[in-house]
Amino acid sequence: MTLDTVDRATQTPDEEQPFLELGLKDDEYAKVRAILGRRPTQTELAMYSIMWSEHCSYKSSKVYFSREFGRIPKGDSMLVGMGENAGVVGVGEGLAVTFKVESHNHPSYVEPYQGAATGIGGIVRDILTMGARPILVMDPLRFGDADHPDTKRVLPGIVAGIGGYGNCLGLPNIGGEVVFDPSYQGNPLVNALCLGVMPVDRIQLSAARGVGNIVVLLGAKTGRDGIGGVSVLASATFDDDGPARRPSVQVGDPFMEKLLIEACLEMYDAELVQGIQDLGGAGLTCALTETSAAGKSGMHAYLERVPLREASMEPHEILASESQERMLAIVTPDDLPSVLAIAEKWGVLGTAIGEVTDGDRLIVTWHDEVVVDVPPGSLADDGPIYERPTARPADQDALAATPLPDYPTATKELLLRMVASPNLCSRRWVVEQYDRVVMGDTVLAWPEDAGVVRLSEETNLGIALATDGNGRYTRLDPYAGAQLALAEAYRNVATTGAVPIAITDCLNFGSPEDPGVMWQFAEATRGLADACIELGIPVTGGNVSFYNQTGTTAINPTPVVGVLGLLDDVTRRTPMGWREEGLTLLVLGETFDELGGSEWAWAEHRHLGGRPPAVDLAREKVLGEVLVTGSRDGLLAAAHDLSDGGLAQALVESSLRHGVGAQVEFDGGIDAFVQLFSESAGRCLVAVPAAYELAFTQLCGARGLPWTRLGLTGGDSVDIDGVFTAPLAELRAAYEGTLPALFGPLAGATRDAPAAPAL
């Protein structure tokens, strides 16, 4: 086949090009021609189709970033905001942390193990790119019904992939979510969060500057895997041929990534790197265009120098390949030998593939023939932007008006069914496959409200992280649902005693070409931005995942919010379970009759309707302040946020944590069923030593935070006076039994003793 060079493109202006097949629309193709003043070469066409895909260009969501997130004050601690690979937040003591959550939804449905594994690999490289050492990962996951046959294919593969990659990198997995709902059938959500830490003066940026500087490709060889991942998989709706797209899924090598991490960190510390960018979605195309566009520089890449797995690869394949475990570094000619020496020390391939040039063109040659000659900004920054039509779905009002099923009497049997239901049961089957302790700084991990990790052994400075999202709430009211996701993650972080300081978000939605989905997206981003402003917490970055639908059926809109908190002293953290008898149990906040979209309505009746719980952000803020102060002053023995499954779930989880029960007495007024299963927001269950009860309730009173005395810790049951007594042994069997029954027995449970409950 003839090489389609720039010269040839100029000479054959009318040659037909397969732009539609590559995902470009008529007007987008016309725009490419206008930018170049000629038809694009085959290679250029491939590059534009990738970079202008929804996944890379954010063409449907970009207007909302400026309109909604642009309103949120940045705050004092944000050092790098949205736009770079991940936001960076100063945390004191000369340290900065960077964190971000991203989706890898479509690849994980097509090939669960590799899809999920490379999702971890990708987000870890984003964090590494900022100059940070990655120190933890988290995984918010969503699947179809727990007993659906395909869930048995997808879930074990995804969990094994996350574990297989993250464990091999030596990154503790400190939490996440596992949610089942039929709307995710055929569209599982695999979101991955990574956080890294660095000295403030080690922050790296992606700009390629300095004429004559060398462009170095580090890491794995480039192969044919993952070609078209972003345009084929991430930017289109699935039809029936999902698994047939397997060649578009990348294959991970965590060992190479571990070496890449160590090599890059050594280069950063030696101040050898002028600019750096990871290769993820859109591979070399993205890295070359983004680094040169960010530096407002020209660049010349010699494609034949790229080390290949298959010698027969063509230029457009090399540029589009999404082979994993690669980074692009810009270094001075003087530093090049040192950079290559460090790469060699770690067994990482380092290859000079180009240089920064004068001017503003990205030139790519293939054995001296020019195959690409473009302004890099036209690919990286000037992609199409759409203000997609929005329309409130016709069924939105009917959904809100759907009456709830009749409330039952609260019984032990109901409680046992609820704690055994797929969305409320123990996640031990999943998290035991993740290394949660490597690096030796994990202070809290699952099943705690938030993960807590120590940053400094000298000062005990640490961070807390939680992710939350509720697709049912967001389906019922996208504005409120997004706010509730933020409120819950914020509350979870504060529950451990950490001060919430920043958020990242992963916005998982259906097709942006559906006006109903776009309305959900618009409402959710508006709600999230309003809530950030009210809580005074900035967005550092995140990710949008559209096209999560099969045919015309979209997933429940699922904004997942990750909140970062800061603890001056991690030894002061508040755990979720109580160890002692005789502690006073209090519920902070107020319980209302709010069961719309609740876990009870879903688990017992497959009912989705009504209104989600009311949002009261002022209350969330006060609750957070009380929890942080209570933790700092040493007043709290335990605290557990109330959310899915309500007070009943929190009582069971906190009791089972260390095998100490709860003796509860309701003071009439509200029905016991509502007390136990309502999902009113802005609430937390706390256990306070009797000696501190007065001091703590006075703290609540001073801040205007309502509280209710529930009873005492102790005994071997969750006892609701006059309602029911549920023995812990029965609760544990129900809570722990569900996932092993669905996905296979727990390790060690089949021999001489049951699996150890300690954790």
Partner 1 sequence: MTPRIGVVTFPGSLDDRDAQRAVRLAGAEPVALWHGDASLHGVDAVVLPGGFSYGDYLRCGAIARFAAVMGTIVEQAANGLPVLGICNGFQVLCESHLLPGALTRNQHLHFINRDQRLRIESTSTVWTSEYAEGQDIVVPVKNGEGCYVADEKTLDELEASGRVVARYVGGNPNGSSRDIAGIANAAGNVVGLMPHPEHAIEDLTGPGTDGLTFFTSVLKRLVDA
In this structure, the number of other CB atoms found within 10 A of the CB of residue 331 comes to 24
Q: Is 733 in the site for partner 1 (CB under 8 A)?
A: no
CB of 434 to partner 1, least distance (A): 6
Of 169 and 178, which has the nearer Cβ to partner 1? 169
CB of 744 to partner 1, least distance (A): 7
CB of 160 to partner 1, least distance (A): 7
Stretch 170-229 residues interacting with partner 1 (CB under 8 A) = 170
Of 90 and 164, which has the nearer Cβ to partner 1? 164
From candidates 23, 40, 131, 164, binder to partner 1 by CB under 8 A: 164
Stretch 554-583 residues interacting with partner 1 (CB under 8 A) = 570-571
Alpha-carbon distances of 725 from 179, 210, 663, rounded to whole Å: 28, 72, 9
Q: Is 435 in the site for partner 1 (CB under 8 A)?
A: yes
Helix (H, G, I), strand (E, B) or coil at 139: strand
Q: Is 747 in the site for partner 1 (CB under 8 A)?
A: yes
Find the radius of gyration of the CA atoms of the chain. 26
CB of 651 to partner 1, least distance (A): 24
Q: What's the token pair of residue 70? A: 């642009």
| From 55, 106, 300, 316, the catalytic residue | 55
Alpha-carbon distances of 422 from 138, 178, 426, 599, 611, rounded to whole Å: 20, 9, 8, 10, 23
Of 454 and 475, which has the nearer Cβ to partner 1? 454
Q: Is 341 in the site for partner 1 (CB under 8 A)?
A: no
How many chain residues touch partner 1 (CB under 8 A)?
Answer: 45
Residue type, 78: M
Q: What's the token pair of residue 559? A: 């904004």
Segment interacting with partner 1, rule: CB under 8 A, options 84-92, 166-174, 214-222, 710-718: 166-174
Stretch 632-671 residues interacting with partner 1 (CB under 8 A) = none
Q: What's the token pair of residue 475? A: 């389906």
Residue 501: name the closest of 85, 90, 81 by CA: 90
CB of 101 to partner 1, least distance (A): 22
In this structure, the number of other CB atoms found within 10 A of the CB of residue 363 comes to 18
Buried b (16+ CB within 10 A) or exposed e, 257-287: bbbbbbbbbbbbeeebbbbbbbbbbbbbbbb
Alpha-carbon distances of 526 from 65, 503, 562, 616, 632, rounded to whole Å: 10, 15, 17, 16, 34
Q: Is 160 in the site for partner 1 (CB under 8 A)?
A: yes
Identify any residues that bridge with 133 across adjacent strands, giving them in sequence order: 197
Q: Are 363 and 301 in contact (CB under 8 A)?
A: yes
Stretch 345-404 residues interacting with partner 1 (CB under 8 A) = 346-347
Of 416 and 431, which has the nearer Cβ to partner 1? 431
Q: Is 729 in the site for partner 1 (CB under 8 A)?
A: no
Sheet containing strand 298-302, strands side by side: 275-278, 326-331, 214-219, 350-357, 298-302, 362-366, 369-374
CB of 512 to partner 1, least distance (A): 38
Q: Is 458 in the site for partner 1 (CB under 8 A)?
A: no
State in Å, rounded, how far the first CA of the chain is from the last one.
Answer: 61
Helix (H, G, I), strand (E, B) or coil at 523: helix
Of 173 and 277, which has the nearer Cβ to partner 1? 173
Of 128 and 622, which has the nearer Cβ to partner 1? 128
Of 34 and 437, which has the nearer Cβ to partner 1? 437
From candidates 433, 459, 629, 708, binder to partner 1 by CB under 8 A: 433
CB of 164 to partner 1, least distance (A): 7
User: What whole-number distance in Å separates Cα of residue 502 and Cα of residue 201?
Assistant: 20
From candidates 167, 285, 504, 680, binder to partner 1 by CB under 8 A: 167
User: What whole-number distance in Å separates Cα of residue 687 and Cα of residue 414?
Assistant: 25
CB of 258 to partner 1, least distance (A): 6
Q: Is 689 in the site for partner 1 (CB under 8 A)?
A: no
CB of 7 to partner 1, least distance (A): 45
Q: Is 754 in the site for partner 1 (CB under 8 A)?
A: yes
Residue 584: name the closest of 697, 678, 494, 491 by CA: 697
Stretch 237-276 residues interacting with partner 1 (CB under 8 A) = 253-256, 258-259
Helix, strand, coil in percent for the chain, rounding step 5: 40, 25, 40
User: What whole-number distance in Å separates Cα of residue 86 and Cα of residue 101?
Assistant: 9
Q: What's the token pair of residue 714? A: 């102790």
Segment interacting with partner 1, rule: CB under 8 A, options 1-9, 48-56, 320-328, 741-749: 741-749
Stretch 504-543 residues interacting with partner 1 (CB under 8 A) = none
From candidates 3, 79, 236, 438, binder to partner 1 by CB under 8 A: 438
Of 106 and 436, which has the nearer Cβ to partner 1? 436
Of 263 and 686, which has the nearer Cβ to partner 1? 263
Q: Is 454 in the site for partner 1 (CB under 8 A)?
A: yes
Stretch 8-67 residues interacting with partner 1 (CB under 8 A) = none
Q: Is 691 exposed, middle or buried (0-12, 13-18, 19+ CB in 10 A)?
A: exposed
Segment interacting with partner 1, rule: CB under 8 A, options 164-172, 219-227, 288-296, 729-737: 164-172
Residue 729: name the closest of 655, 665, 663, 664 by CA: 655
Assess whether 55 carries a catalytic annotation: yes
φ/ψ of residue 499, rounded to 5: -90, 120
| Sign (positive or negative) of CA dihedral 116, 118, 123, 124 | positive
Q: Are 328 and 215 in contact (CB under 8 A)?
A: yes
Segment interacting with partner 1, rule: CB under 8 A, options 25-33, 57-65, 438-446, 708-716: 438-446
User: What whole-number distance in Å separates Cα of residue 75 and Cα of residue 89?
Assistant: 10
Strand 717-720 relative to strand 707-713: parallel, antiparallel, unpaired?
Answer: unpaired
Instruction: Write the DSSP symbol of residue 279.
Output: -
Of 568 and 625, which has the nearer Cβ to partner 1? 568
Of 255 and 407, which has the nearer Cβ to partner 1? 255
Assess whether 640 carries a catalytic annotation: no
Of 133 and 392, which has the nearer Cβ to partner 1? 133
From candidates 106, 436, 619, 640, binder to partner 1 by CB under 8 A: 436
User: What whole-number distance in Å separates Cα of residue 41 and Cα of residue 34?
Assistant: 14
Segment interacting with partner 1, rule: CB under 8 A, options 28-36, 211-219, 354-362, 427-435: 427-435
Q: Are 228 and 320 in contact (CB under 8 A)?
A: yes
CB of 169 to partner 1, least distance (A): 8
Q: Is 748 in the site for partner 1 (CB under 8 A)?
A: yes
Max CA pair span of the chain: 88
From candidates 168, 251, 370, 399, binder to partner 1 by CB under 8 A: 168
Which residues of this protein are in contact with partner 1, per CB under 8 A? 160, 163-164, 167-170, 253-256, 258-259, 346-347, 431-443, 454, 457, 570-571, 744-745, 747-749, 751-756, 758-759
The catalytic residue positions are: 55, 104
